């Protein structure tokens, strides 16, 4: 699977590990930077990777910043993106089973490479449960469409 990946300086070290994990698993990471430890703004890199997933250039995406919070905020601005901040295994599993998350976000200053490896493996291998959860995802899509049309006021 082609997987967009990006980070800021705080996520660079873990991003490098995750790229190697993805290659070992037989996936094709598409790296949107950053490439150096120099301080950068996470929205610039989150935007590139989230855009690739939102437009269907890649099926899934992974973003890493210091905590994962900023990258989550950026990714979830994009149409069709369901970005899940997962710094633990249970969240990674549930974000696939119940939310059909198409982007995984992690905090490079929170988790180490061994936990990240398990999170990535779990997140990529866990299928969506479907069923009652489809209706809920439809409702998320409906909210997104309403917001785009400026009709979000209840
Ligand atoms: C960078 O210092 C840090 O703010 C960023 O990596 C991220 O944690 C933001 O949410």
pLDDT digits (tens, 9 = 90+) for 113-124: 999 999 999 999
Predicted local distance difference test score (pLDDT) of residue 152: 74
Examine the pLDDT at 153 and tell me if it is beyond 90: no
Task: Name the residue at shortest CA distance from atom 8 of ligand 1.
Answer: 66
Predicted local distance difference test score (pLDDT) of residue 151: 85
Residues 6+ apart with CB under 8 A from 24: none
Judge whether 81 and 101 are in contact, CB under 8 Å.
Answer: no
For residue 42, the CA-to-ligand 1 centroid distance in Å is 7
Length of the chain: 154
How far apart (Å, rounded) are the C-alpha atoms in residues 41 and 37?
Answer: 12
CATH number of 2-129: 3.40.1400.10
Task: Name the residue at shortest CA distance from atom 10 of ligand 1.
Answer: 70
116 C-beta neighbours (distance < 10 Å), count: 25
Predicted local distance difference test score (pLDDT) of residue 127: 98
Mutate to test the pocket of ligand 1, among 11, 63, 66 (most ligand atoms within 8 A of CB): 66
Q: Ligand 1 pocket, 10 CB below 6 A?
A: yes
CA distances from 90 to 33, 41, 96 (A): 28, 29, 10
């Amino acid at each position: 699977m082609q997987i967009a990946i990006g980070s800021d300086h705080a996520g660079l070290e873990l991003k490098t590990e995750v790229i190697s994990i993805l290659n070992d698993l037989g996936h094709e990471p598409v790296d949107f930077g950053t490439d150096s430890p120099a301080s950068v703004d996470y929205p610039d890199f989150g935007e590139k990777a989230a855009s690739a997933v939102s437009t269907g250039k890649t099926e899934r995406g992974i973003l890493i910043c210091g905590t994962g919070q900023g990258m989550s905020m950026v990714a979830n601005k994009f149409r069709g993106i369901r970005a899940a901040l997962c710094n633990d295994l249970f969240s990674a599993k549930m974000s696939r089973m119940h939310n059909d998350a198409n982007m995984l976000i992690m905090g490079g200053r929170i988790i180490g490479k061994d936990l990240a490896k398990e999170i990535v493996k779990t997140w990529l291998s866990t299928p969506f449960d479907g069923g009652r959860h489809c209706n809920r995802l439809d409702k998320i899509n409906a909210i997104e469409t309403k917001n785009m049309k400026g009709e979000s006021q209840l």
